[in-house]
Structure formats: C-alpha cells, structure tokens
Amino acid sequence: MTHWTVRISGAELPVFEYGNPAARSTVLLVHGYPDNRHVFDPLIAELGDAVRIIAYDTRGSGASALEPAADVSIEQLARDVFAVVESIPELTGKVHVFAHDWGSVQLWEAMASPRATTAFASYTSVSGPSLDHLRQVARARLVRPHRWPSLVGQLARSWYVFGFHVPVLRSRVPDLLARLNVEGEPTPTVADQQRGIGLYRANVLRRVLRGPDPRCDVPTTVVVPTHDRMLSTNLTDGLDRWIPQLRVVRVDAGHWWPYTHPADAARVLLEQAWEAG
C-alpha cells in the first residue's frame, strides 16, 4: 500500500493505493456516510491483484482534514473526485468508479460533468441515488395519486435526513442509526457519524427542491439491495431516460452490501470494468 495527500479547497484528502499497480484497469472506491475508506477493506481483499485500486477518505471523514467552514457542497465533492483522479501517479486510461451511499450521491454530480467521459470508464453505483433524479421521481409521483404510497414510503425511510435538519435532533440521529445496525454491518466511528451531518444539511433539501436535470454518459451499473432500510427499490424508475448505457442489478442484501458481500461486489465491479474495457 502506498498513500499520498490531495489538498483542495480547505481540505486534505488522504489517498491510498492497493492491488496491482501494473494492472490494466484502475478502480476508484468512494465511500459514503457514516463510513470511511475502511468500509471497503473486505472488497479490496477480494479484488486482490486483479486491478489497481485507489481509495480515499472523503472530506470530513476518516483521516481527512477539514478547515472550519470548509465547503461540503455536492459540487465541491465532485471536484474532489476529479482532483483525486488527477493525482493518481502514472495513470494510463480512464478509471472505473465503484461508489456506495453518499459516495454514490456525489459521483452522480461528477458524472454530470463534461469531464466525466474523459475521466471515467465505467460507474458502479450502490445505494446512493442522484439527488436530481430523486427530485424528478418525487414530482412525477406527487401529481399521480396512485403513486403517493410509494412517495410516502420513501419519505418514511428517509426520516433521518429530516432529523439532521432539526437542531434538537441532529446530534441524536447518528446514535439512533447506529442502533439499527445489524450484526455483520460496519460500525462507524463517532467522529464520522457527527461530521457527516453537514453533508445532508448542505445538500439534500436544496437539490431535491431545485437543480439541473440528471445526466450520465458513462456506462453505468446500478446495484439495488432489495433489503435496503434506507432506500426503496423502485427509485430506479426512469433511470434509463437519462443513462444511455445502463444495467440494473438487484441483490439479496441490505444497505451495506459492498461490506457484507464483498465477493459478490467484486464480481459485479469486475464485470462492469471488463465490459467497459
């Protein structure tokens, strides 16, 4: 393992390299909330030397350093991704991105950039929907009374998002989420639990209310864990309207599928990488 630091806009992001540096394909792993890069340790072990692997702690998590009042907007998180890709030594070709939870949410923002098709060879998204797609889904269901139950169902699953916006509740929500973890799921640190609240407060409501149309011209696999407590399985509705090269894979697992089923995650990731070339 080698490592280096990317310094960008009030943050220092530690980046780590694993696997085979001479491999034909390079994979970038981007974690979500309330995790850090270690959530991918089982997946990294499964991938072994099949690919070159890059993982980093996103701003505000793990060993990253964040200046007071540093920008944690989804737009900045996308810029971080490109900065990490550009920092990879002796990189040849595009990278294959595998992202989970908030890592996936921020990667949808990066995928909408004109730079995406020159930086990314493929994208595997797990349990992290596009906020712009969520806005479209919510509006479509709001005007169709027969779709209201599905809308209410997702709002109920997202109770913690609203809790993060209520001053008296926001510090207690991470503990409540931790109590919902089942045996075998990762145990987040208290620091990661608390620092990640800013992601939701800075991004979710404003982008669900207003934002650009979703866009992704990179070959994409969306993995849908059918037992995800946070996300409804029907949030994939309409993805094919704005993702030209889309594959949807349903897996019999919960939200932390990459951690609990690393062998299956490695297989899906490698299939996407080999197919995209």
Model confidence band, residue 168 (pLDDT cutoffs 50, 70, 90): low
Model confidence band, residue 148 (pLDDT cutoffs 50, 70, 90): very low
Averaged over 232-237, what is the pLDDT? 88
The pair phi, psi for residue 123, each rounded to 5°, is -140, 125
Domain count, the chain: 1
H or E, element range at 82: helix 74-87
Query: Tens digit of pLDDT for each residue in 97-113?
Result: 999 999 999 999 999 99
| Cα 61 from Cα 191, distance rounded (Å) | 8
Per the structure, the complete domain to which residue 247 belongs is given by 2-276
Given a cut of 60, whether residue 151 has pLDDT beyond it is: no
Given a cut of 90, whether residue 208 has pLDDT beyond it is: no
Question: How much is the pLDDT for 172?
Answer: 64
The pair phi, psi for residue 17, each rounded to 5°, is -115, 135
Say which CATH number the domain at 266 has: 3.40.50.1820
Query: Average pLDDT, whole number, for the chain?
Result: 88
Query: Tens digit of pLDDT for each residue in 73-129?
Result: 999 999 999 999 999 999 989 999 999 999 999 999 999 999 999 999 999 999 999
The pair phi, psi for residue 189, each rounded to 5°, is -75, 155
| Most confident among 23-27, 173-177, 182-186, 235-239 (mean pLDDT) | 23-27
For 2-44, what is the HEC assignment? EEEEEEECCEEEEEEEEECCCCCCEEEEECCCCCCHHHHHHHH
